[in-house]
Structure formats: structure tokens, C-alpha cells
């Protein structure tokens, strides 16, 4: 199975800072939500078949930071 690693086409602004459920080949966004547990509940019995990722904001340079968590 060819796995998609280019998310530029499938991640839209609405997905930023959300949990996204991807199809097994990572080519399609199945659903998304701010809360992973709620997303998995909504996906029901197929929840364990999907691949989950949390989409970083597009305007963000990533580095491991925790300071802003304590808001």
C-alpha cells in the first residue's frame, strides 16, 4: 500500500490545532475534532483502523515548547 506523506493538499486551515483521523493510506481526512476521545467515539467501531495526527498551525515553526500550556 502506497502511503501518502504529503499533507499540504488534505490539511486545510480548519484542521489546524485539531486531531485529524486519516484513512489507512493517509490520503484522506475522514473526520476531525479538537478532542481526540470525542473524535474516536464518533468514528465508532472503526476508530482503531484510522491514523491520528494533531495538525500544527501552518504559521508555526515547531520547537518543543511547554510554556504556553499553562494558560
Cell numbers 495538525 correspond to: 55
Which CB sits closer to other proteins, 28 or 51? Answer: 51
Question: At closest approach, how far in Å is the CB of 44 from other proteins?
Answer: 13
- Does the footprint of other proteins cover residue 2 (CB under 8 A)? no
Distance of CA 67 to the CA centre of its chain: 22
- Does the footprint of other proteins cover residue 67 (CB under 8 A)? yes
Ranges within 31-60 binding other proteins (CB under 8 A)? 35-37, 40, 48-60
Cell numbers 489546524 correspond to: 16
C-alpha–C-alpha distance, residues 66 and 22, integer Å: 26
Question: At closest approach, how far in Å is the CB of 39 from other proteins?
Answer: 9
Question: How many residues in the chain?
Answer: 71
Amino acid at each position: 500500500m502506497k502511503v501518502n506523506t504529503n499533507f499540504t493538499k488534505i490539511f486545510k486551515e480548519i484542521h489546524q490545532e485539531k486531531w485529524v483521523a486519516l484513512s489507512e493510506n493517509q490520503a484522506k481526512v475522514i473526520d476531525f475534532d479538537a478532542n481526540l476521545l470525542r473524535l474516536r467515539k464518533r468514528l465508532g467501531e472503526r476508530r482503531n483502523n484510522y491514523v491520528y495526527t494533531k495538525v500544527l498551525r501552518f504559521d508555526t515553526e515547531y520547537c518543543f515548547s511547554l510554556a504556553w500550556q499553562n494558560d
